[in-house]
Amino acid sequence: MKPPPVIELAGIGTRFGRQVIHRDINLSVASGQILALLGGSGSGKTTLLREILGLLRPTAGSVRLFGVDLADADSQRQRAARRRLGMLFQQGALYSALSVFDNIAFPLRELRCLDEDWIRRLVHLKLAMVELTPPDGGLMPAELSGGMIKRVALARALALEPELLLLDEPTAGLDPERSKKFVELIASLQRALNLTVVMVTHDLETLHSLASHVAVLADQGLVACGLKTEVMAVEHPFIQGFFASHPPKLL
Amino acid sequence: MTPQLQMSEGRAALSGDWTLAALLPQLDHLRRQLEQAGAAPGAWDLSQLERLDSAAAVLLWRSWGHAWPTELTILPLHRRILARVAELPTALPVAASPPFNPLTALGGQVLRFFDNARGMVILFGRIWLDLAYLARHPGEFPWRELSANIYKSGAQALPVAALVGFLIGVTLSYLSALQLQSFGADIFIVNILGISIIRELGPVLVAVLVAGRSGSAMTAQIGVMRVTEEIDALATMGVSRSQRVVLPKIIGLTVAMPLVVLWTSAVALFGGMLAALAQLDLSLAYFIESLPRTVPVANLYIGLGKGVVFGFVIALVACHFGLRVRPDTESLSSNTTRAVVTAITSVILADALFAVFTRHIGVPTL
């Protein structure tokens, strides 16, 4: 039996009051893909991401994660599906009252099945994974630099060993050097853990070095979706404009 | 694929998905099995594993007693995951929290008290410096912020203050009337209500209400402005945070408080009058006529003076704690709590001082 796609959006429509954000969006992401979600400001990229996370319910259509409908009434199954994804928020969204260590340990403790030694080992592993040292675990989020916040947030997103990783602007606010390193980090983790990644990004560099697939949101719908090379060839003013702004790097 | 462990002739074979999500439903069972298998050193066959994540790797590594088993069959991919776990030291340092010591805790409290007192004195001085500056540059006075603050902490507090004042007035009048009736001293209800409400209850009641209502709002607002760096943004535009944020709040509440006190005392007296009418048959006209005779007007000045001082104290305390908020949620909540508690305590303290220093003023002589 073929496993269901990791994410399956069917006929998604979103409206805020009278303002229509999405109209009939269909998208399916298979295991192991790295999908970049592109679109101009206000095209509803983050809204779509929030719908995939189940933070926002679409006005029409259904979202299925690992074959489980997010509108499913069975809360047990919903929770199980959500545990299989990790989210990296744009600003990190670290719990400001908890130290770095406790931030990463939090989702593990919430399982209420693991003992402290096990959790400590896992947190140290995650810290090492994102190239942080154990002493960094004692810091508070307010004491971290922008790059460190992203790395801690990534470590926390990975704490529950997710199969699906959602990234909202993973490199926004990082300098080019750090941003490159962070992208390499995500790429290496993706290979090592065989993650499925969906990211919202504006950064061509990130897109170029990470994504295998691209979906473009414009005119309230998906104007293109597929392999990166295929999408680049699509005749659409937004796509042409987007890739034309930085041609040398992509060619 | 569910994770499975099969034991046969000193050989432990693992198969299926050894991931956190797959382990959880049968964690206890697998743990027991691993313990048994780990106790007898033997061969481990992990070649049939489909997936292995670091959580399961830690579990395995611990059941092996933090050492590689003598005989191990495993895919290179999974070996790398285990190798990462193996690199961790056997005994991980536990972040030790310092033990509770009542003496140091008490000392910390005392130090914090003086620290806060110092901060408030500095803020107090800052206000006078700002006022002196604004007196020389009247064009820069933050009129709009001031009127917004008077409206928010004064005008908008009127309905709730009236409701509470009215009910207290009714209750007080009713209970006193029951006692006075038994002495036949009905007309003294005017003295009791007049003095107690105008001089004491009105100001204190309003102070407690306003501390909870406007004081907490001020602390939270300044605190969130610190968390979101809005305060810093003000500074970069050359706008003084104390002149634009703190000063209008303090002046606003100092101006608004006596007015709210006057309003609340009036409504409370009205409630008392109604209860006296119902209980003692004391006409409203008589009550109003005898009030100025029995209650010296000094009591009103004392009440309003208390309003001014209480308003200033509440706003000062609230702004002080707001400026101390560090950029995390825990600090925001604890500072808001502290602001309200400290404001109410200081108000009661100030009230006691008022009582001592005004003990010869405004007391009616018969």
Best residue of A76, A91, A114 to probe chain B, by most B CBs closer than 10 Å: A114
Summarize the confidence of residues A42-61 as an average pLDDT. 85
Summarize the confidence of residues B284-303 as an average pLDDT. 91
Q: Choose the weakest-confidence range: A7-21, A133-147, A234-248, B269-283.
A: A234-248
Length of chain A: 251
Q: Kindly give, in sequence order, each residue whose CB lies less than 8 Å from that of residue A11, ignoring residues fewer than 6 positions away.
A: A24, A25, A26, A60, A61, A62
Summarize the confidence of residues B58-83 as an average pLDDT. 81
Tokens at residue A140, please? 């508070």
Length of chain B: 366
Amino acid B168: pLDDT: 95
A131: contact with B, CB 8 A cutoff: no
Amino acid B328: pLDDT: 80
- Does the model's ipTM exceed the 0.95 cut? no
Q: Tell me the one-letter amino acid at B122.
A: I
A125: contact with B, CB 8 A cutoff: yes
Q: Using CA atoms, how far apart are residues A88 and A150, in angstroms rounded to an integer?
A: 8
Query: Domain ranges in chain B?
Result: 4-86, 112-357
Shortest alpha-carbon distance between residue B327 and chain A (Å) = 6
B20: contact with A, CB 8 A cutoff: yes
B300 has a pLDDT exceeding 90: yes
B95: contact with A, CB 8 A cutoff: yes
B348-363, pLDDT tens digit by residue?
A: 999 999 999 988 888 7
Nearest by CB: B19 against A95, A138, A161: A161
Q: Using CA atoms, how far apart are residues A143 and B354, in angstroms rounded to an integer?
A: 46
B83: contact with A, CB 8 A cutoff: no
Rounded to 5 degrees, what are φ and ψ at A88?
A: -105, 110
B326-344, pLDDT tens digit by residue?
A: 888 888 999 999 999 999 9
CB A197 within 8 A of CB A190: yes
Best residue of A31, A76, A106, A122 to probe chain B, by most B CBs closer than 10 Å: A122
Amino acid A251: pLDDT: 43
Place A3 in a pLDDT band, splitting at 50, 70 and 90.
confident
Q: Which residues of B touch A157 (CB under 8 A)?
A: none
Instruction: Give Cα B214 distance to the centre of its chain.
Output: 12
Shortest alpha-carbon distance between residue A157 and chain B (Å) = 14
Give chain A as a DSSP string.
Answer: -PPPPSEEEEEEEEEETTEEEEEEEEEEE-TT-EEEEEE-TTSSHHHHHHHHHTSS--SEEEEEETTEETT-S-HHHHHHHHHTEEEE-TT----TTS-HHHHHHHHHHHTS-S-HHHHHHHHHHHHHHTT--GGGGGS-GGGS-HHHHHHHHHHHHTTT--SEEEEESTTTTS-HHHHHHHHHHHHHHHHHHT-EEEEE---HHHHHHH-SEEEEEETTEEEEEEEHHHHHT---HHHHHHHHTSHHHH-
Shortest alpha-carbon distance between residue A128 and chain B (Å) = 9
Best residue of A113, A116, A127, A149 to probe chain B, by most B CBs closer than 10 Å: A113
A133 has a pLDDT exceeding 80: yes
Residue carrying the six token digits 């590594």: B61
Shortest alpha-carbon distance between residue A8 and chain B (Å) = 21
Query: Domain ranges in chain A?
Result: 97-161
B65: contact with A, CB 8 A cutoff: no
> Alpha-carbon torsion B51, B57, B61, B63, what sign?
negative
Test A161 with B94 for CB contact under 8 angstroms.
no
Q: Tell me the one-letter amino acid at B133.
A: Y
Place A185 in a pLDDT band, splitting at 50, 70 and 90.
confident
Amino acid B109: pLDDT: 92
Amino acid B213: pLDDT: 92
Compute how many other C-beta atoms are within 10 angstroms of the C-beta atom of residue B155: 12
B31 has a pLDDT exceeding 50: yes
Test B328 with A113 for CB contact under 8 angstroms.
no
Pairing of strands B4-8, B11-18: antiparallel
Place B311 in a pLDDT band, splitting at 50, 70 and 90.
very high
Q: In terms of pLDDT, which residue wins out, B208 or A212?
A: B208
B120 has a pLDDT exceeding 60: yes
Place B99 in a pLDDT band, splitting at 50, 70 and 90.
confident
Test B54 with A117 for CB contact under 8 angstroms.
no
Shortest alpha-carbon distance between residue B337 and chain A (Å) = 16
Amino acid B113: pLDDT: 92
Summarize the confidence of residues B6-14 as an average pLDDT. 77
Summarize the confidence of residues A34-59 as an average pLDDT. 85
Summarize the confidence of residues B86-97 as an average pLDDT. 73
Q: Give, in degrees to the nearest 5, the angle at Cα B238 between B232 and B240.
A: 70
The HSE-up count of residue A184 (CA atoms within 13 Å, CB side) is 7
B29: contact with A, CB 8 A cutoff: no
Amino acid B176: pLDDT: 92
Q: Choose the weakest-confidence range: A9-18, A57-66, A172-181.
A: A172-181
B46-57, pLDDT tens digit by residue?
A: 888 887 888 888
For chain B, the three-class secondary structure string (H helix, E strand, C coil) is CCCEEEEECCEEEEEEEECHHHHHHHHHHHHHHHHHHHHCCCEEECCCEEEECHHHHHHHHHHCCCCCCCEEECCHHHHHHHHHHHCCCCCCCCCCCCCCCHHHHHHHHHHHHHHHHHHHHHHHHHHHHHHHHHHHCHHHCCHHHHHHHHHHHCHHHHHHHHHHHHHHHHHHHHHHHHHHHHHCCHHHHHHHHHHHHHHHHHHHHHHHHHHHHHHHHHHHHHHHHHHCCHHHHHHHCCCCHHHHHHHHHHHHHHHHHHHHHHHHHHHHHHHHHHHHHHHHCCCHHHHHHHHHHHCCCHHHHHHHHHHHHHHHHHHHHHHHHHHCCCCCHHHHHHHHHHHHHHHHHHHHHHHHHHHHHCCCCCCCCC
Q: Tell me the one-letter amino acid at B236.
A: T
Taking Cα atoms as reference points, which of B204, B199, B201 lies closest to residue B171? Answer: B201
Summarize the confidence of residues B169-187 as an average pLDDT. 90
Amino acid B106: pLDDT: 94
Q: Using CA atoms, how far apart are residues A44 and A217, in angstroms rounded to an integer?
A: 8
B138 has a pLDDT exceeding 80: yes
User: What is the pLDDT of chain A when averaged over all its residues?
Assistant: 83
CB A154 within 8 A of CB A174: no
Taking Cα atoms as reference points, which of B358, B48, B69, B29 lies closest to residue B203? Answer: B358
Q: Which residues of A touch B329 (CB under 8 A)?
A: 95-97
Test B88 with A83 for CB contact under 8 angstroms.
no
CB A126 within 8 A of CB B58: no
Nearest by CB: B84 against A96, A125, A161: A125
CB A11 within 8 A of CB A61: yes
Place B115 in a pLDDT band, splitting at 50, 70 and 90.
very high
> Alpha-carbon torsion B290, B296, B301, B307, what sign?
negative
Q: What is the CA radius of gyration of chain A?
A: 18
Amino acid B41: pLDDT: 65
A168 has a pLDDT exceeding 70: yes
> Alpha-carbon torsion B215, B220, B226, B230, what sign?
negative
Q: Which residues pair with A9 in a beta bridge?
A: A27, A63
B151-165, pLDDT tens digit by residue?
A: 999 999 999 999 999
B217-259, pLDDT tens digit by residue?
A: 999 999 999 888 888 888 888 888 888 899 999 999 999 999 9
Summarize the confidence of residues B314-334 as an average pLDDT. 91
Q: Tell me the one-letter amino acid at B226.
A: R
Shortest alpha-carbon distance between residue A95 and chain B (Å) = 8
Tokens at residue B335, please? 């500072």
Tokens at residue B249, please? 């709040």
Shortest alpha-carbon distance between residue A19 and chain B (Å) = 29
Q: In terms of pLDDT, which residue wins out, A240 or B338?
A: B338
A89-127, pLDDT tens digit by residue?
A: 888 888 888 889 999 999 888 888 788 888 888 888 888
Q: Which residues of A touch B330 (CB under 8 A)?
A: 96-97
Shortest alpha-carbon distance between residue A2 and chain B (Å) = 13
A249 has a pLDDT exceeding 70: no
Residues of chain B above pLDDT 90, percent: 52
Best residue of A77, A78, A96, A109 to probe chain B, by most B CBs closer than 10 Å: A96
A116-to-A109, A113, A137, B61, B365 alpha-carbon distances in Å: 8, 10, 15, 15, 73
Best residue of B23, B35, B58, B331 to probe chain A, by most A CBs closer than 10 Å: B58
B274-to-A151, B80, B162 alpha-carbon distances in Å: 68, 85, 15
> Alpha-carbon torsion A197, A200, A201, A207, what sign?
positive
Q: Which residues of A touch B328 (CB under 8 A)?
A: 96-97, 140-142
B92 has a pLDDT exceeding 90: no
A80: contact with B, CB 8 A cutoff: yes
Taking Cα atoms as reference points, which of A114, A115, A113, A136 lies closest to residue A124? Answer: A136
B94 has a pLDDT exceeding 80: no
Nearest CA in chain A to B26: A113
CB B215 within 8 A of CB B343: yes
